Amino acid sequence: MTGSSARSEGETAWERLRRRKAVQWGIAYAAAAWVFLQVLEYVAESFDWPASIRRFALIALLLGLPIVIVMAWYHGDRGVQRVSRTELGILTLLFLSAGTFLWLYYDADEDSLPVNVSGEAGTIAPPMASPRVPRLAVMPLDNLSPDPADAYFADGLHDEILGALATSPDLQVISRTTMRAYRDVRKTVRQIAAEIGASHVLEGSVRRSGTRVRLLVQLIDATDDRPMWSESFDRNIEDALSLQQEIAAEVATTLNLRTSSSAASYPTTSNPEAYDLYLKARILDERNDFSHASMEEVEELCSRAIGIDPNYSAAYTLRAISRLRRLWFFADLSEDEWRSIPTDIDSANRLSPDGAHVLRARAMRHYYADMDYRDALGAAREGQRTYPYDADLREIEGLVLRRLGDFDAAVAAFRNLIGSEPTNAPYAYLLAETLRMSLQYTEASAAAHAYLERASPDALVTWEELLSQAFRDSDASALMLYPDEHAGKTDADSLWSLRTQALRLYGDEPALAEHLVNSTAEWIPDNGGFVTPVALHTGFGRLLLGESGAPAEAREILEHAANVSRFPAREYNFAFLEAGAALLAGDLQRARERALRAERLMPASRDWILAGQVSIDCAVILAWAGARQEAVDLLRRSLDTPNGVTPLQLRNDPLLTKPLSGYEGYDALKANLPERWGT
C-alpha cells in the first residue's frame, strides 16, 4: 500500500475535500460570484434592467457551484489537466440538469411578466392572473350604515384596505379606479374576476353606528368561488383605525405572501377625528374631477387632520399632491402653499420612510413643480423597485415618457396598464390621448372604441374617440353634439372647455364668440402646465366680435401672470400671459415680443406635449398682433410637433382664420401641407 493511499483511507470526507482543494475553489468561486452580483446590481439599477436578469444570474451562479467542486475534485490537488470519462460524465449530467432548470425557470418567469397588449390597433390581450403572482380585486365595501352620509367612510376604508394590501411585493392589487366601477354592479364574483383577470377577490360590508364599527370581510378564490378566509370585526372607532393593516396581514398569511417592510409603517393615525377628516379628503380626491374647488377642499380637510395629529403621514402626502395638481392646472398657490410642498413630503417620509404614498408624491413633485421629467422618471422607476405592481407609479412613468418624447414607450406603458385592467376608464383615456397626441389618429380612435365596446360608457374616452376621428377625417361635426349629450356627466368647467374646443375645430365663429364672451367657467383645467385663464378666452371672444381690445380682461390676466411668476419652471407661461394681456390692452409690439419669447422658452426638447400647445396659442396671439408671417412660420413648425396644430384647426379655427384670412402665406400653408397629412 502506498503512502498516498494510506493517507486517503485515513482521511475524513472534509479532509479529503480540502486536500483536493474543493473547499478552496468553492470559497474562491463564492467570493467571485458575490463581487459579480454586486457589480450586476449597480449596473442593473443604473440602466433600469428588469429584476429577472438579476434573478437569472443568481440562479446560474448557484447552479455553477457543484460544477466547480467537481472540477476541483479531479484537478485541484495535483493540477491534472486530462479529463477522465467519469468526470466528463458527471459534468455533462450537471450541465444538462442546470440548463434544463434554467430553461424551465425562464419559461415560468416569462409567464409572470405584466400582460402585454397585442400590436394590433385597438385590440387588447385578456388579462391573465400569473400562477406566481396572485391578482387581488378588492371590491367596494357595501355600506350598511343607517346614516347615508356615512357612505364616505365605507369608500375611504375600502381605499385604505386596498392601499395596505398593495404594500406586498408578491401581490398585484387591482387599482381603485378599476374597482370603483364595480360598485352596485350585479355580477357574480367569478364574472367580475374574469373581466379584470383576478385570481382572488376580497369583498365585505361595513356598518358604522355612532362610535361602533362592524366590518365583515372574506377572501375568495375566484377560480372556484371557494372562501379562503373570513372574519368579523366589531370595534369602537378608536380600535378600528388599524383594521386595514390587520386585514392585509391576514390576506398575506392566507396566500403565503411576503409583507413589505413598509407595511408596518403604513400611514395611519390613532385619532378618530383626524382619520375621519382624512377619509373625506381622500374620497373627494379620488373623484379626480380636476375641480379647483375640490382641490382646495381636499387641502383644507388634510390641514385639519394634520392639526389634530401632526404625525399623520398620509395627510401630508395627500395635501402635497393636491397642491401639486392645483399648481399644475391652475398655478394658483400662495407663497406659503408653494413652500409647504417639499416640507410635507419630507415630513411624510420621516414618518413613513419610503412608503408608496411618499414615493408617488416625490415623483409628482419632480413632474408638476419642477417639470424635471428625467428626475420624475427616475423617481417613478425607483418606486417600482419596491412596489412593482403600484399602478399609480406605472401611470406616472407613462405620463413622463410622453413628455420626454418617447411616445412608443408611453403607448406601451399605457397598453400594459389597460391590458392588466381592461375596464379602467382613466387608463383607456390616457392610451387614446397619447396615441392621438402622437398623430396616430386611427389607432387612437380604435383604442377608445375597443374600451367603450367592452366596458361602461365614459365621457372622456368618448371625447377622445370623437376627437381622433375629427382629426383623421377633418370633420368636427360629431364634436358639436358631445357637450349637450354629456351635460351633467362631467364638471361644468371641463364641459365649457370641451365646448370651446369643439366650436374652434368646427369653425362656427359667431357661436364661438358668444360662447367665449358669456363664459360660465371659473377655472379652465384643460392645459396641464399651461394656464390660460378665462379672461383670455373672453378677450378673444371680444376680438371676434370686432372690439378693438379688452382692457378689463387684460388687467385680470396680469393678476394671473403675477401668480405664475412665482414658479421658476413656468417662465414660458408667464411670458405667454404677458403677451395675451398686451394684445388685449392694444400694445401689439409687446404682444409680439412676449409671444415669441414664450415659444422660445418651450421647445419640443423640453416638453413634447406642451410645445405643440404653446406654439398654437402663441401663433394666435402673433396673428392678432399683426405679425402674420411669424404666426404662419410658427404654425408650419407646429405641424411637425406632437400635439401641435392640425389641418382641421388650420382650416376652421376662427381664432386663426379671422386674423389670417386673405394672407398669402397662410393660404399657401393650407394648400401645401406636409406629405404625411395627405390632402
Place of cell 406566481: 132
Residues 238, 260: Cα–Cα separation, whole Å: 25
Categorize the per-residue pLDDT at 111 as very low, low, confident or very high, splitting at 50, 70 and 90.
very low
Query: Per-residue pLDDT tens for 23-39?
Result: 777 788 888 888 887 77
pLDDT of residue 171: 86
- For the chain, what's the residue count? 679
pLDDT of residue 213: 87
Residues 401, 431: Cα–Cα separation, whole Å: 13
Nearest to 126 by CA among 411, 454, 465: 454
Residues 392, 380: Cα–Cα separation, whole Å: 9
Mean of the pLDDT values across residues 392-407? Answer: 94
Tell me which DSSP letter residue 287 carries: T
Nearest to 500 by CA among 468, 541, 464, 466: 541
pLDDT of residue 601: 95
pLDDT of residue 60: 77
pLDDT of residue 13: 62
Q: Which helix (H) or strand (E) holds 296?
A: helix 292-308
Query: Per-residue pLDDT tens for 574-601?
Result: 999 999 999 999 999 999 999 999 999 9
Instruction: Write out the three cell numbers for 587.
Output: 400694445
Nearest to 175 by CA among 387, 318, 352: 387
CB atoms within 10 A of CB 522: 12
Mean of the pLDDT values across residues 415-435? Answer: 92
Q: Which residues of 88-114 are buried (b: 16+ CB within 10 A; e: fewer)?
A: eebbeebeeebeeeeeeeeeebeeeeb
Q: Cβ neighbours of residue 467 under 8 Å, at least 6 residues apart? A: 436, 479, 501
Residues 526, 523: Cα–Cα separation, whole Å: 9
pLDDT of residue 6: 46
Q: Supply angle C-alpha 386, 391, 396, rounded to 5.
A: 90
Most confident of 68-77, 83-92, 138-147, 529-538: 529-538
Are 298 and 318 a contacting pair, CB within 8 Å?
yes
Query: Per-residue pLDDT tens for 438-487?
Result: 999 999 999 999 999 988 888 889 999 999 999 999 999 999 988 777 76
Query: Per-residue pLDDT tens for 123-168?
Result: 333 344 445 688 899 998 888 888 777 788 888 888 888 888 887 7
Residues 674, 661: Cα–Cα separation, whole Å: 21
Question: How do strand 172-173 and strand 142-143 relate by DSSP bridges?
Answer: unpaired
Instruction: Write out the three cell numbers for 484.
Output: 349637450
Give the lowest-confidence range in 61-75, 177-191, 283-297, 659-673: 61-75
Are 64 and 56 a contacting pair, CB within 8 Å?
no
pLDDT of residue 308: 96
Mean of the pLDDT values across residues 248-266? Answer: 70
* pLDDT of 659 strictly over 90: yes
Residues 147, 208: Cα–Cα separation, whole Å: 8
Categorize the per-residue pLDDT at 83 as very low, low, confident or very high, splitting at 50, 70 and 90.
low
pLDDT of residue 16: 65
Give the lowest-confidence range in 195-209, 486-500, 526-540, 588-602: 486-500
Domain 135-260 class in CATH: alpha beta
pLDDT of residue 678: 46
pLDDT of residue 119: 34
Mean of the pLDDT values across residues 413-430? Answer: 91
Are 462 and 452 a contacting pair, CB within 8 Å?
yes
Instruction: Write out the three cell numbers for 26.
Output: 468553492
Categorize the per-residue pLDDT at 88 as very low, low, confident or very high, splitting at 50, 70 and 90.
low
pLDDT of residue 2: 47
Alpha carbon 391 to chain centroid, angstroms: 7
CB atoms within 10 A of CB 124: 22
pLDDT of residue 130: 47
Structural domain boundaries in the chain: 3-111, 135-260, 272-452, 493-677
Mean of the pLDDT values across residues 41-68? Answer: 67
Long-range Cβ pairs for the range 567-570 (8 Å, 24+):
567/327, 567/331, 567/338, 567/369, 569/369, 569/370, 569/371, 569/372, 570/331, 570/371, 570/529
Domain 272-452 class in CATH: mainly alpha
Residues 64, 421: Cα–Cα separation, whole Å: 40
Average pLDDT, the chain: 84
Categorize the per-residue pLDDT at 53 as very low, low, confident or very high, splitting at 50, 70 and 90.
low
Q: Cβ neighbours of residue 14 under 8 Å, at least 6 residues apart? A: 23
pLDDT of residue 361: 96
Categorize the per-residue pLDDT at 297 as very low, low, confident or very high, splitting at 50, 70 and 90.
very high
Q: Which amino acid is at 64?
A: G
Residues 383, 483: Cα–Cα separation, whole Å: 39
pLDDT of residue 541: 96
Are 131 and 111 a contacting pair, CB within 8 Å?
yes
Mean of the pLDDT values across residues 178-199? Answer: 85
pLDDT of residue 109: 43
Q: DSSP readout, 468-488?
A: HHHHHHT--HHHHHHHHHTBT
* pLDDT of 266 strictly over 70: no
Alpha carbon 393 to chain centroid, angstroms: 5
Fold matches, 135-260 and 272-452: no
